[in-house]
Amino acid sequence: MEKIKKLARAGEIRLSRAINTDMNYVARGLAIFSSQHTIITIFAFLFAIITVRIFPKETIGLYKYIISFVAFVTLFQLNGTSIVLTRAITRKYDGTFKKLLHLNFFWNLIIAFILFLVSIYYTVFADPPNLMLALPLFISAILLPISETGDLIFSYANGKRLFKTTAQSQIIRSFLEYVVVLAVGLTTYSAYFMGAAYFITHCALTVIIFLYIKHRNPPTNTKTDPEAKNLTTHGSIISVLAGVANSLDNILVFNFVGAAGLAIYAFASAVPSAINGYFKHISTIVLPKYSNSKNSDFRDMMKKSFIIMAFILSISIAYFFAAPFIYKIFFPQFIDSVIYSQVIMFMFVFSPILPSTYIDSQSSVKARYVSNIPVSIFKIIATVLGAALWGIWGVIAARLLSKIVIFLSVTYIAYRLNINNVINNTQRPID
């Protein structure tokens, strides 16, 4: 028994070096976020099962388009704020929270104005006018500055390592959002009203959660991170291109294939994205630790990265054989999604989770630009060409190729950044 304990502890130490933290911390964090992700995935799964049995593909596709369109417009907000805030709170700069709240709110007023103009277009200038589509867009324009700014409370909580609070809050919010949207859908059978219900519910619940967490865990000082504004600006510029590259697929499929095609593509992506969500939480947990670290053992980091990749690959192979049965049992109306879903699952093998998180945690603006801008431009061009030439298959091929390019480039940049940090014993940009 003693020997087993020693071997287990040795394994913990080796993995700890890879991600620069202790395994007890990682285990607790992963347990919390994995539970959260599982519960939210179950909610989404049940919502999907109900909707495919009640609504036609066109209604589902239109609802997905409304949500995707608003999400696409919000990509032009200060998306770099989240990582910067978590990093600042971890480093005891609690005053940064208030500063970034103000900055984020006023910037979101500009985004809201863009959505307002789009709603006016559909009301007045579209041929024919589409008042129903203008309704959810107008509502989202009014509520967006509040809801998007309020979402920063989760970055604040993660910086204070209140992972359990974050998880519980997001579970409750997701559950109530699905319940309200489904209730409105069953009452009106309208994708437009479902979209409006989602935006209203999301904003109301975000405000409640914001006030609750801030009241229970107020900032303990007024110090502001001197690097916050600079990192927010550059991080947001980077995240705009990355966000466009990651969100363009739904809009392109809708325009080139139609609402029914988007529904097929959305259901093909749903299960693989849900599975991949478990691994994304590793970044959330590791980021606070990396933010306080100048050096990390890159070889061990990559060793663990390849272990993660091998694990995702094994899940992808299992899913390849299980997918036909999953869709036949739960989504018989979307059996056409199976082959797309099987291929999409394999692209997540090339997710540079640890190297990407390491780059985000450091203050090297140049490293973040080099690791994001070129590959984002490549992905946008590839996705547009793929959608125009080959529809859904073209989009999937572009996503897979981009994943491979991103993995190689991010890993190389993380390696160069790590070498500089080790040599100079400071957080300097790469040469």
pLDDT of residue 8: 41
- Which DSSP symbol is given to 427? -
Handedness of CA 273, 274, 279, 283 (dihedral sign): positive
Give the whole-angstrom CA distance, residue 198 versus residue 181: 6
- pLDDT of 2 strictly over 60: no
Burial (0-12, 13-18, 19+ Cβ within 10 Å), 72: middle
pLDDT of residue 428: 45
Encode burial over 299-336: b for 16+ CB neighbours within 10 A, e otherwise.
Answer: ebbbebbeebbeebeebbeebeeebeeebeebbebbeb
pLDDT of residue 344: 95
Q: Give the range among 304-318, 352-366, 412-426 with minimum mean pLDDT.
A: 412-426
Mean pLDDT score, 215-225: 89
pLDDT digits (tens, 9 = 90+) for 59-107: 888 998 899 889 888 877 777 788 788 888 988 889 999 988 988 898 8
* pLDDT bucket at 128, cuts 50 / 70 / 90: confident
* pLDDT bucket at 52, cuts 50 / 70 / 90: confident
- pLDDT of 196 strictly over 80: yes
pLDDT of residue 30: 64
Q: Note whether 207 and 187 are within 8 A (CB).
A: no
* Averaged pLDDT of the chain: 83
- pLDDT of 199 strictly over 90: yes
Mean pLDDT score, 305-314: 89
* pTM for the model: 0.71
* pLDDT bucket at 109, cuts 50 / 70 / 90: very high
- pLDDT of 258 strictly over 70: yes
